[in-house]
Amino acid sequence: MLTVGGAVHLPHIDPMTATSPPTATSARAYITRDAVFLYVLVSLLLLLACYLLLTVPGPFNQDFRAFYAAGHMLLHCPSQMYSLAEQKHWQDASAGGSSVLPFYHPAYEALLYAPLSLLRFRSAYLAYAACNMLLLWVCYLVSPQGNGVFSTKRRPLLFFLSFPVLLTIFVGQNSLWMLLAFSLAYNALTRDQDSRAGVLLGLASFKLAIIGPLAMLVCIRRGRRFALSFAATSAALLGVTVIITGLSGTAQFLHLLTGATLAVDNNIAAQHSAAVLLSSMPNVAGLLYLLHSANLPSPVPFVLNLVLTLLILGCGVWIQRRASEERVAFSAAIVCAVLVSPHLYIYDYSALLLPLVLLSHRGLRYLAAPWFLVPPALYFYAQLTWFAPAAILALGLFGVCILQFRNEERSAGLLLGVAES
């Protein structure tokens, strides 16, 4: 029960769902026989798929190639970590193949991959896949309870059969670390531990394109304590990056980030050279690309992207300022950040597991089947080159956030009227 302006507000029950709001649940409640069986089965199948991949040239084009080479560069030539020529040299030498996958992440992240670089590429790839599988189980346990479509019984299906999560493990990406940080940060916010939440999201700054807008929205809602801890953590990690690469290396890093961000205004050849393929990005930029924005005069795609980004962020700010429940506000912040992120691929949709768990509006049930079917269909249609249409999933989820927020506003208004009468 809480009091605002002298009026007593009872705990909110969403009128669009038959269940009550989520309550605190021990992680032990999620360790069911079905969950363990599904997790073990999926893990074994993924390990088999990763092992079979090692028998073909595929691993040389996996994202882990860039991380593995970054671990080598951290140990041998950290000041050249963001030189594309050096990245290609080390990727070719350490992982094989002949292409370059730019390493766009802050240098401190390479500390995770330096120990793996002591192994041969194939062994390191399998070790990182096993680490990601263990991390997935941890995410499953620490993520908050929901009471909607993906309640306790369906929770294992969401975590262990979602295509973005499976792809994260298969290609050797780092999106599960982001999901873990988001889950722990949300748990901290629900306990009014704003400083702790700021530190946790600051530690996830390796996903700067998503963390930036997310932290801004959370800061608008939570205020100074969160902002100070997030800024301090991010600044400390940036300092580590500068120490590792030096000023010249940091300048190269900023140049790479700028080039990736402005790729929305580039032609296809320029996108390939920067390894930023808009047709693969399920965000605002990818949607504009599907609408043939690349055929418009040079400044127009950038302006359109900016306008849509500001519109989505404006809706996000509106929800942050007025939402009564943290689960709706944080879910909206995540979905907004994903949609407006200038650099996003389908494995980053792993972050959307949290809104899918937290939201309870009945509209979510219409997204359940597309969530499981659309990404794999796009993958089998065009591998990793045509995921922009998946942005409809994030847009639909954002719509659910708005609907649930509006229902809460109406319910709060009714309760206020009753209390005043």
The pLDDT score that the predictor gives to residue 15 is: 38
Judge residue 74's burial from the number of C-beta atoms within 10 Å of its C-beta, 0-12 exposed, 13-18 middle, 19 or more buried. Answer: buried
The pLDDT score that the predictor gives to residue 142 is: 93
Query: Which residues are 3's β-sheet partners?
Result: 8
pLDDT tens for the chain, 421 residues long, are 343 343 333 344 343 333 334 444 566 778 889 999 999 999 999 999 988 888 876 556 678 989 999 999 999 999 998 888 888 888 888 877 777 888 888 999 999 999 999 999 989 999 999 999 999 999 999 999 877 888 778 899 999 999 999 999 999 999 999 999 999 999 999 999 999 999 999 999 999 899 999 999 999 999 999 999 999 999 999 999 999 999 888 888 888 777 655 554 455 545 455 566 888 999 998 998 888 877 778 788 888 889 999 999 999 999 999 998 999 999 999 999 999 998 899 999 999 999 999 999 999 999 999 999 999 999 988 877 789 999 999 999 999 999 999 988 777 665 555 555 5
Q: How many residues does the chain have?
A: 421
Four-residue CA torsion sign, 213, 87, 59, 109: negative
The pLDDT score that the predictor gives to residue 2 is: 40
The pLDDT score that the predictor gives to residue 276 is: 66
Q: Are 350 and 207 in contact (CB under 8 A)?
A: no
The pLDDT score that the predictor gives to residue 12 is: 41
Nearby residues of 415 by Cβ (< 8 Å), 6 or more positions away = 7, 9, 10
Farthest-apart Cα atoms in the chain, separation: 76
Nearest-angstrom CA–CA distance, 196 and 304: 37
The pLDDT score that the predictor gives to residue 268 is: 52
The pLDDT score that the predictor gives to residue 43 is: 95
Q: 145 vs 22, 151, 157, 234, CA distance in Å?
A: 6, 7, 14, 29
Nearest-angstrom CA–CA distance, 267 and 310: 23
The pLDDT score that the predictor gives to residue 417 is: 56
Which is nearest to 388 in space by CA: 261, 258, 276, 274? 276
Which is nearest to 58 in space by CA: 130, 104, 125? 125
Nearby residues of 147 by Cβ (< 8 Å), 6 or more positions away = 17, 19, 20, 21, 22, 360
Q: Which two tokens stand for residue 150?
A: 């993906």
The pLDDT score that the predictor gives to residue 254 is: 84
Q: Which two tokens stand for residue 232?
A: 């301090």
Residue carrying structure tokens 């929901």: 146
Q: Hey, is 383 helix, strand or coil?
A: coil
